[in-house]
Structure 1
């Protein structure tokens, strides 16, 4: 399921920077789970091994962790070469008590239908919770609705004189940042 399909399913998405410390990730995931919401995390195996295994007992709302690897999306020979020369980050995926842990390429890829669930979504439903940089205190989750998302896309297309379905764009922004999400 890609990022857009996740949104069509009515799931609220929040990018988690791989540059955050374990404590910062813990803060964000607990904030997302406030009020009894369940949290699922899609993360790299290296971040799982380096951070999540250390803090999972302090994440009561985290129910599901899906791990993936950089090499998993590369041609097999290139991935093997990258691992051999130490250019692909990797981490060991282990069970976490009280959490469901799945490896994307092993447990999910190609095993489920591409059919989207029939979910009714309102333009005012939340699609993103993006976190501020925390320069004036703890990071704050900024809520964006489906209406915000569509309006931003239309503004962006108009500003760049893009026609829907033609050409492609390239962005240097990471997808855990809102600028990366809106330029994809």
Structure 2
């Protein structure tokens, strides 16, 4: 099958898959896009005339978050028509792919929430400590500060927990931190 035959097939298959629409762009693979961010990419199998490979794709950025989720793909004889291909996709690919896609999207949403909470905390710290420096890592941000002889860091982790380190603190600073901890515990 050549590129335009695959594109035509994708357009026809979308008519038989509820909630799916074709995404066809010259020079790019043909996709079936569906509910909840589902994307199925369709490729011809170069050494098996008349067969295609349909692969369920996870959202961008999810490889590192969901490495254990399996790859969902099937091969289908395209010569049997769009309705046949749609039935095979519905029966053999979509059930497991949908389940894993939901898991993946939930983890991505959780990661986005964690990043938002971390950003809020870091913004507050930077406002309170205007001369602080930031170091961003994948799931944590380190805010380093210096005030006269005292220095320290706040490491804000992705799960909204933080680590505080203070070096060369004078008595007043120690008492203020202790008071803040006491207030937090009551």
Larger radius of gyration: 2
- What is the TM-score normalised by the length of structure 2? 0.20
**Which one has more relative contact order, counting CA pairs under 8 Å at least 6 apart?**
1
Larger fraction in helix: 2
Larger fraction in strand: 2
